[in-house]
Amino acid sequence: MTLIIRVLRVILWQMSDAWPSLPLEEWKDTCATLHMWTQIVGKVRLAQTPLVNHWWNVPLYVSARGLTTTAMPYGKTFFEMEFDFIDHNLMIKCSDGGTSSVALRPKSVAVFYQETMTALGKLGLKVDIWKMPVEIPDPIPFDQDHQHASYDPECVNRFWRVLRASDRVMQEFRSRFIGKCSPVHFFWGSFDLAVTRFSGRPAPPRPDADVITREAYSHEVISHGWWPGHGPLGKPAYYSYTAPAPEGLSAAKLRPAEAIYSTDLSEYLLLYDDVRTAADPDAALMDFLQSTYEAGATLANWDRASLERL
């Protein structure tokens, strides 16, 4: 009996380590600061890469140590920028062997911006970016933002572990679809991890849509993702939406039982804590991803037989 208890304790510890608690109120100031830091690095990626459909050239990716741009061209060389959430540095590495770094610690967005531009300059990388943040209320130019200056390394590490666990399940979910599908990627504007499936059909133009929205939603999509809780919900959650939204979405039966349809957001939601505390978090998240996809694809008359791996 003692051995069984020990084994159960190890299993519970491993689950809590893979799916750690991350209430937004514990790190909301750090979250807001990190959001701006990722936008600075993300805009470097935007400046250095050609447009790919639906803005797939701009996101970051979950890495073995944090979030990375992956390799980007600069003249005849390549360089990569990676947020290391283990040793807490922004690492910049070049194909010619050059390296530089910026320490991740409590500092303002303005200071981080200047240090990042200086670190790039030391490697001969002259990159100009638009300094205004996007997709947030009351944006402050990066070089003038002394308001956001928090950094809690322990919470940031937990944030990365949530991304890592979510990415693993979402990668498996992505593999079941043989139609057009995005990578699993981290959008620094909306600050969420996302994967998007496509029916293959163009979508009706959205009235009054800006250039970003027109490109993002040029075709029918079902998107899934996770965000840490900023916005009206205030809690970390997984989401799913179908665009354009067919009739009947709100009445669909979902898995697991905790999943809901939010009339306020017009999206399916599953709180992260309901996944984290489930007997099998991987299965709970996969059920949410699969059941919300099935609901949207069926109601929108997608050709599922030709799009899904049987």
Closest CA to 241 of 185, 282, 194: 194
Q: Are 191 and 38 in contact (CB under 8 A)?
A: yes
pLDDT at 13: 41
pLDDT band at 2 (very low <50, low <70, confident <90, very high): low
User: Is the domain of 57 the same as that of 186?
Assistant: no
Q: Is pLDDT of 306 > 60? A: yes
pLDDT at 230: 80
Q: Is pLDDT of 5 > 80? A: no
Region 268-281: mean pLDDT is 98
pLDDT at 112: 99
SS3 sequence of the chain: CHHHHHHHHHHHHHHHHHCCCCCHHHHHHHHHHHHHHHHHHHHHHHHHCCCCHHHCCCCEEECCCEEECCCEEECCEEEEEEEECCCCEEEEEECCCCEEEEECCCCCHHHHHHHHHHHHHHCCCCCCCCCCCCCCCCCCCHHHCCCCCCCCHHHHHHHHHHHHHHHHHHHHHHHCECCCECCCEEECCCCEEEEEEEEEEECCCCCCCCHHHHHHCCEEEEEEEEECCCCCCCCCEEEEEEECCCCCHHHCCCCCCCCEEECCCCEEEEEHHHHHCCCCHHHHHHHHHHHHHHHHHHHCCCCHHHHECC
User: Is the domain of 132 the same as that of 60?
Assistant: yes
User: Is the domain of 296 the same as that of 192?
Assistant: yes
Task: Give the domain-ending residue among 100, 120, 144.
Answer: 144
User: Is the domain of 133 the same as that of 199?
Assistant: no
Closest CA to 99 of 108, 107, 91: 91
User: Is the domain of 187 the same as that of 291?
Assistant: yes
Q: Are 117 and 126 in contact (CB under 8 A)?
A: no
Looking at per-residue pLDDT, the higher value among 10 and 290 belongs to: 290
Two tokens, residue 216: 């993002």
> Which domain range does residue 209 map to?
156-307
Task: Give the domain-ending residue among 121, 144, 167.
Answer: 144
User: Is the domain of 168 the same as that of 222?
Assistant: yes
* Partners of 80 in beta bridges: 93
pLDDT at 105: 98
Closest CA to 42 of 192, 187, 223, 250: 187
User: Is the domain of 291 the same as that of 164?
Assistant: yes
Closest CA to 41 of 95, 84, 83: 83
Looking at per-residue pLDDT, the higher value among 207 and 227 belongs to: 227
User: Is the domain of 110 the same as that of 168?
Assistant: no
Establish if 6 belongs to a structural domain: no
Euclidean distance between CA atoms 112 and 276, whole angstroms: 33
Q: Is pLDDT of 29 > 60? A: yes
Q: Per the structure, how many domains does the chain have?
A: 2
pLDDT band at 16 (very low <50, low <70, confident <90, very high): low
In percent, the amount of the chain with pLDDT more than 90 equals 89
User: Is the domain of 221 the same as that of 263?
Assistant: yes
Q: Is pLDDT of 15 > 70? A: no
Q: Is pLDDT of 4 > 80? A: no
pLDDT at 92: 98
List, for residues 144-166, the tens digit of each pLDDT value: 999 999 999 999 999 999 999 99
List, for residues 105-125, the tens digit of each pLDDT value: 999 999 999 999 999 999 999
Question: What values do phi and psi take at 175, rounded to 5?
Answer: -65, -15
Euclidean distance between CA atoms 121 and 98, whole angstroms: 12
User: Is the domain of 219 the same as that of 131?
Assistant: no
Q: Are 275 and 19 in contact (CB under 8 A)?
A: yes
> What pTM was estimated for this model as a whole?
0.93
Closest CA to 227 of 272, 257, 264, 265: 272
**Half-sphere exposure for 219 (CA within 13 Å, toward CB):** 15
Establish if 150 belongs to a structural domain: no
Establish if 275 belongs to a structural domain: yes
Region 19-30: mean pLDDT is 98
Region 246-270: mean pLDDT is 96
Euclidean distance between CA atoms 114 and 57, whole angstroms: 24
List, for residues 161-205, the tens digit of each pLDDT value: 999 999 999 999 999 999 999 999 999 999 999 999 999 999 998
pLDDT band at 310 (very low <50, low <70, confident <90, very high): confident
Establish if 12 belongs to a structural domain: no
The total number of residues shown for the chain amounts to: 310
pLDDT at 239: 98
Region 254-259: mean pLDDT is 98
pLDDT band at 33 (very low <50, low <70, confident <90, very high): very high
Q: Is pLDDT of 273 > 60? A: yes
Euclidean distance between CA atoms 56 and 53, whole angstroms: 6
Q: Is pLDDT of 1 > 80? A: no
- Quote the Cα angle for 20-285-212, to 5°: 95
Q: Which residue has the tokens 């690095």?
A: 41
| Window from 96-110, 194-208, 272-286 with minimum mean pLDDT | 194-208
